[in-house]
A and B are shown apart, each in its own frame.
Chain A
Amino acid sequence: MTKSTKTILWIVGIVIIVAVAIAATRDSNDAKTIKIGVSVAMTGSAAYIGESYTTGLKAAQKEINAQGGINGKSIELLIEDNKNNAQEGITVFRKLELQKPDLFITTMSTPSIPISPLVKQAGIPLFVSVVFADITSKNENSVSFFPTPDNDARATIQDMVINHVNKVGVLYLNSEYGQASLTSFLKEAKQNNISVISKEAFLNGITDYSTPLAKVLATKPQAIYIIAVASTPIIKQAKTMNSSVVIYANLLPIFGNLVNQDKSTFEGVHLTASTVSIPGTTEYNQIRNQLKDVDPTNTLGYAAVGYDNLYSIKAVLTKDPNTKDFVQTFSRFGPFSGIGGSFILDSRNVGMVLYPVIFKNGVIQEVK
């Protein structure tokens, strides 16, 4: 090993030790702040989710702190990038643990599953959002707050029943999100005597959906249901391949901006939405006004989730400021209504009421 290499390695080692020592002993005036650790995907394939989520979170933080905080204490968000990766999720938690957070918010299933037992062991209440995996049943010191696949499936099936759809073909993203959504949909379909006559998976990142679409369309369904993170190119291809089949796509609340940016593609497509995505509702106007300055790309959906998550935390801590009792207080909270619409509280899990809608004549309309 050359002398210069040894020198570099020594410098690196000293810098690490000093940096960690500084971080570990940093005092952020604990008595006057509520520290909330936040693990979110800021880079990588899920960055668009994390960016939007933190936009809403910070907007809510700014408002709450301007109003005097929670019981006189300001909120400090300790945000770190989990890259939507299991190993990185643990690294983020270990790093934030040094700063002794009062509460920990985790997003995305992959980094959240391995840290749940660690957060539980550390005695920190865990707030789970943008996660489809089941965390709360294995960690009694956790709560979940996000539209669930069941919420979405119910609204979709409700629409299919209203429109007398009996035979459906499903195209789904082969991911944790896609699998969870498919499972919920199949369960609801069975309960409502709707036959799922074909199912085809596709991988994230592909640009040509013609093969799985052709396979699904070959079974001649009345409708096709697309479970995807960004369904625009799939809908376009589906319409090109078969202009008469009825198209359903999921989770408009998250991707309301896609619909408004590409009206011709979404024309006639059946979707599900919370009240915040339906024009003319109080929630829709509220989010447009409150978030327009901090959400210039108008991603709405995840920003609304982040915003409501922090306001729900505020509501719970206002009722009982002891963060150790957070989960207990949360589970007994009762109905909660936020910028994203109304929420269904089921013990420690909060879902979102979703409604079947159709995008017709360039406007989102409820299907009744």
Chain B
Amino acid sequence: MEYLIHIAILISIYAILGLSLNLVVGYAGLLSITQAAFYGIGAYTTAILLTSTGLNFFLALIIGIIITAICSLAIGFVLSKFKDDYYALGSFGFNVIIYSIFLNWQSLTRGPLGIPGIPRPSLFGFTFSENIWFLVLSITFLVLVYFISRFITGSSFGRVLKSIREDEEAISVFGYRALWYKLTVFVISAGMAAVAGSLFAVYITFIDPSSFTLTESIFILAIIILGGLANNKGAMIGAACLILLPEILRFVGFPNDIAAQMRQVTYGVILILLMLYRPQGLVGEYRL
């Protein structure tokens, strides 16, 4: 049972990440590969505040969101100077910079040694030490993030984002300041990623820079592409599929000597097949 609860918690954390990136990539059409950096800033802020100041998790979470939002505002402003492939490359660069900061700012982050002993959240004397209660907490945040995403994408703001995705120049002609909309959604997305990062830090109870590399950003991008771009339910389905698939493969009877490698190969083949037959993703409306 603990195993299934663990998988469900991971799915909810990655679903939050998927929802957050979907706003930027799926709705605004900005190919951003920085999400792991914001995920990491949220995680590190929470971890540092909880381990060195003993602050309550929920306060640390809010501070984590604010700090991530400020960082993303600066990064987003620089990235707004780029378009298309250059935007992707620029975001790639920022992910590398943030990772390097996690790795080298040792007095703050302990560098490669990571931050161990992160306590579980508590609220009014109740500690979420049992995984089942942590699952309730993570699902609560997931539901909250889902409804925020749905509200954004269903509003006039969301419609403008889609228009920017389709033709930025055209929407600018109508007087909409595309830069403002892009920056706003970028900051909101980063804040949501920080929520996922905070949950991750207190669940795993140990973080180090290796959890927030470019590979992680690409994994989050894969979630929303597989699930379906510009579809909030797709982001959640994509997270579920990409977390569950390797776990299912653990139970397939590959020979012991090559089991781990065969799982990776099979995982890759399944993803390729899915993309061949459903390039728009499982429930997507838009292709990159």
A110–B205 CB distance below 8 A: no
- 1/0 contact trace for A152-178 toward B, CB 8 Å? 000000000000000000000011101
- Kindly state whether residue A19 has any CB partner on chain B within 8 Å: yes
A19–B251 CB distance below 8 A: yes
- 1/0 contact trace for B1-16 toward A, CB 8 Å? 0111011001000000
A98–B3 CB distance below 8 A: yes
- Kindly state whether residue A244 has any CB partner on chain B within 8 Å: no
**Interface residue ranges, B against A (CB under 8 Å):** 2-4, 6-7, 10, 103-104, 111-114, 116-117, 200, 204-208, 210-211, 233, 237, 241, 244, 247-248, 250-251, 256, 259-261, 263-264, 278, 282-283
Distance in angstroms from B248 CB to nearest chain A CB is 6
B3–A114 CB distance below 8 A: no
Chain B binder among A87-95, A143-151, A274-282, A325-333: A87-95
Report B-chain residues with C-beta under 8 Å of the C-beta of A366.
none
Complex Cα gap A258–B41 (Å): 39
27 A-B interface contacts by CB (under 8 A): A5-B283, A9-B237, A16-B247, A16-B248, A19-B248, A20-B3, A20-B4, A23-B251, A43-B261, A43-B264, A80-B260, A85-B210, A86-B206, A90-B204, A91-B6, A94-B3, A94-B6, A95-B247, A97-B2, A97-B3, A110-B210, A114-B116, A133-B113, A133-B116, A176-B114, A180-B113, A201-B104
- Pick from B10, B208, B237: contact of A176, CB below 8 A: B208
B261–A15 CB distance below 8 A: no
Complex Cα gap A195–B208 (Å): 31
**Interface residue ranges, A against B (CB under 8 Å):** 1-2, 5, 8-9, 12, 15-16, 19-20, 22-23, 42-43, 79-81, 84-87, 90-91, 94-95, 97-98, 110, 113-114, 117, 133, 138, 174-176, 178-180, 201, 203
Distance in angstroms from B133 CB to nearest chain A CB is 15
Distance in angstroms from A165 CB to nearest chain B CB is 27
Distance in angstroms from A115 CB to nearest chain B CB is 9
- Pick from B112, B247, B248, B282: contact of A179, CB below 8 A: B112
User: With A20-B251, A43-B261, A114-B204 known to touch, is A79 a contact of B282 (CB < 8 Å)?
Assistant: no
- Pick from A12, A87, A133, A203: contact of B241, CB below 8 A: A12
Distance in angstroms from A347 CB to nearest chain B CB is 21
B261–A85 CB distance below 8 A: no
A81, closest chain B residue (CB): B260
B248–A95 CB distance below 8 A: no
Complex Cα gap A138–B112 (Å): 20
Distance in angstroms from A50 CB to nearest chain B CB is 8
Report B-chain residues with C-beta under 8 Å of the C-beta of A81.
259-260, 263
B250, closest chain A residue (CB): A95
A5–B114 CB distance below 8 A: no
Complex Cα gap A259–B204 (Å): 39
Distance in angstroms from B51 CB to nearest chain A CB is 13
A91–B247 CB distance below 8 A: yes
- A97-B2, A97-B3 given; 19 more Cβ-contact pairs under 8 Å: A12-B241, A16-B244, A16-B248, A20-B4, A23-B251, A43-B260, A43-B261, A79-B256, A87-B204, A90-B6, A90-B204, A113-B116, A117-B205, A133-B113, A138-B117, A174-B112, A175-B112, A176-B114, A203-B103
B256–A42 CB distance below 8 A: no
B233–A86 CB distance below 8 A: no
B250–A80 CB distance below 8 A: yes
B111–A179 CB distance below 8 A: yes
Complex Cα gap A9–B200 (Å): 26
B112–A86 CB distance below 8 A: no
Report A-chain residues with C-beta under 8 Å of the C-beta of B264.
43
Complex Cα gap A176–B172 (Å): 50
Report B-chain residues with C-beta under 8 Å of the C-beta of A175.
112
Report B-chain residues with C-beta under 8 Å of the C-beta of A110.
114, 208, 210
User: With A110-B208, A113-B206 known to touch, is A174 a contact of B3 (CB < 8 Å)?
Assistant: no
Distance in angstroms from B87 CB to nearest chain A CB is 25
A179–B205 CB distance below 8 A: no
Report B-chain residues with C-beta under 8 Å of the C-beta of A5.
278, 282-283
Complex Cα gap A178–B117 (Å): 21
Complex Cα gap A19–B4 (Å): 12
Most buried by A among B3, B6, B200, B207: B3
Report B-chain residues with C-beta under 8 Å of the C-beta of A90.
6, 204
B204–A86 CB distance below 8 A: yes
